[in-house]
Amino acid sequence: MNNINQDYIEKYIGELLPRPIPFIQELEEYAQKHNVPIVQPEVAQLLTLILKIQKSKNILEVGTAIGYSAIVFSKAMGEDSHILTIERDPEMVSLAKENIKKSGLEDKIEVLEGQAEDIFPKIDGAFDCIFLDAAKGHYMDFISKSLKLLKKDGLLISDNVLFRGMVATDALVKRRKITIVKRMRKYLEYISNHPQLHTSIIPIGDGVALSIKKE
Ligand SMILES: C[S@@+](CC[C@H](N)C(=O)[O-])C[C@H]1O[C@@H](n2cnc3c(N)ncnc32)[C@H](O)[C@@H]1O
């Protein structure tokens, strides 16, 4: 129970999801066995649907881990698409590269190794979508550059924004998580009220915020 949805709802929705292709399933099993936090399958299903509706062709991702979300998004976007993804943990970087190669997506997904705080300022371009899925306490560090890098009508996706329900109520906040929770609340207030963004916070998975850049 992650304090966001009832277990029976998650279980029911999970059972309705299409069976993942064998390699995607292998990645999910690896992540579970080795405690690697990856985007939940029902969240991946929602996000790939939105990427298809939006006709996204290029994504900037912060937080690659084993490459699961990048591979799932890349397959959803199809030909002529590109993902730039940032990861600071060298072990994750080599696992991600291996998995991307096994998926035959080396020409579509580029992994940049390092702290996103250092790499972000050096990135140029115009992205259809930016996916923030790294250290939860640091999303504010990426928002102003993200706004510059997003195209008009581009999509900003922020994952884990309800953080096991703690962000929504003090009653659930663990003492050692107070700083992260305070930072995430500040971030959600910022993206909910920013004049350039139209934001919706969705209680699915660990909480996902979807924001469209209006101008
Ligand atoms: C939740 S996991 C990413 C999961 C991945 N997006 C997926 O769904 O398959 C977060 C990853 O972000 C990385 N990370 C956290 N903070 C970071 C930072 N400041 N810069 C770069 N990587 C970071 C962690 O090492 C971790 O592998």
d(CA 150, CA 127): 5
Region 64-90 average pLDDT: 97
Question: 24 CB under 6 A from ligand 1?
Answer: no
Statement: residue 1 has pLDDT above 70:
no
Please give the pLDDT value at position 160: 96
Region 186-204 average pLDDT: 97
Please give the pLDDT value at position 113: 98
Among 2-11, 30-39, 99-108, the range scoring the smallest mean pLDDT is 2-11
pLDDT (tens digit per residue) in 123-165: 999 999 999 999 889 999 999 999 999 999 999 999 999 999 9
Question: 133 CB under 6 A from ligand 1?
Answer: yes
pLDDT (tens digit per residue) in 168-178: 999 999 999 99
CA–centroid distance, 134 to ligand 1, in Å, is: 4
Q: Where are the alpha helices (DSSP H) in 55-162?
A: 68-77, 90-102, 116-119, 139-149
Contact call for residues 36 and 64 (beta carbons, < 8 A)? no
Question: What DSSP state is assigned to residue 138?
Answer: G
Which CATH fold would you assign to the domain 7-213? Rossmann fold (3.40.50)
Contact call for residues 97 and 112 (beta carbons, < 8 A)? no
Annotated binding-site residues for S-adenosyl-L-methionine read: 39, 69, 87, 133
Please give the pLDDT value at position 53: 96
pLDDT (tens digit per residue) in 8-64: 999 999 999 988 889 999 999 999 999 999 999 999 999 999 999 999 999 999 999
Question: What DSSP state is assigned to residue 183?
Answer: H
Region 5-10 average pLDDT: 91
Question: Among candidates 25, 211, 173, which has minimal Cα distance to 44?
Answer: 25
Hunting for tokens 């992540």 — which residue is that? 31
Domain ranges for the chain: 7-213
Closest-lying ligand 1 atom to the alpha carbon of residue 138 = 19
